[in-house]
Structure 1
Amino acid sequence: MSNSPIVKQYSNEYQTEVVDLILSIQQKEYNIPITKEDQPDLYTIEDFYQKGKGNFWIAVYNHKVVGTISLLDIGNNQVALRKMFVDQEFRGAKFKTAGLLLDNAIQWVKENSIKAVYLGTTPQFVAAHRFYEKNGFTSIDLKELPENFPLLQVDKKFYQYSPS
């Protein structure tokens, strides 16, 4: 048995686990008043994320989804990083789940000649801010986002990553 989660491309068999993981983190851990009805993309992951230069991956440990990450194709060889969530038990140095997920997404970015990755996050995800900055993301202002960036109401802090 591997000591690290395995990152693999999303398929529908994982939909319930993905929805449960994301909602649990949003609602219980961070007290964000968001429901599954507010996130219809979670019920059409293949159609919403896995098209164009976009994709959706999961981290699995002992047959359980412990993390998610996606890239949404927003045109012009640009993507929006969305749905980056890691189960609390699988954060940090022991499992390196977030790093595995992000490395996988960045590899996809490079292989698909994507010019830039943008993301929005909430102010309370301070550990996530540090994580993105440590991994080459630069903080940007709202006005620096491309006009086709899918702005979420909860997002108040924004980042950009440009592959070298």
Structure 2
Amino acid sequence: MLEISPVNNTHSKSIIDLVLNIQQKEFNVPITIDDQPDLMQIEDFYFANGGSFWGAFIDGELVGTIALVKFDEKAAAIRKMFVKKEFRGKEHNIAQKLLEILISYCHENGIDEVYLGTVSILKAALRFYERNHFTIIDKELLPAKFPVMNADNVFCFLDLKSSL
């Protein structure tokens, strides 16, 4: 049974384990916990400015995450969208459910523009975002306040005003 709920600093260890495992072991992305201090300061980094962080749990096990960093009055960035390998795909539909919760949160909180950065080797992730009406944009088109991660080399945008 899938349960999705907001997570906070008490979940940091399981979030770090999930995220680093996927980044480093599965996709060989050269990133460490030192590059992602936000994972140890979830409340300050995500919630304090009007964003959020959700975890997907099956039988109490963290199997997926998605986070939203609000960086402007009406704009936010998706971060930490990860689903454990054995729980990916249409059968569980966890990524889709996480994204829908995040988009609902945006609508409820007056966020009209959603951006994200990812890495080009995550082909399935890019297809997923494109299926969900994100468009790939040049880095130069990102808002000045967008929090760029060093590893990211592909950027996407979703205009929630036009998708209502």
Under a length normalisation based on structure 1, what TM-score does the superposition of the two structures give?
A: 0.95
Alignment map for 1:76-155 (pairs within 5 Å): 76-155=73-152
TM-score (norm 2): 0.95
Question: Alignment partner for residue 28 of structure 2, among 26, 31, 43?
Answer: 31
Residues 1:54 and 2:58 are matched in the alignment: no
**SS of the residue 2:14 aligns to:** helix
Q: Percent identity?
A: 44
4+ long deviations beyond 6 Å: none
Q: What is the DSSP-based 3-state SS (H/G/I as helix, E as strand, rest coil) of the residue aligned with 1:133?
A: helix
**Contact kept in structure 2, 1:73 and 1:80, CA below 8 Å:** yes
Unaligned runs of 5+ in 1: none
Q: How far apart, in 1, do the equivalents of 2:3 and 2:107 lie?
A: 20
Gaps of 5+ in 2: none
Partner of 1:71: 68
User: Residue 6 of structure 1 corresponds to which residue in structure 2?
Assistant: 3
User: Number of residue pairs matched?
Assistant: 161
AA aligned opposite 1:85: F
Secondary structure of 2:31's aligned partner: coil
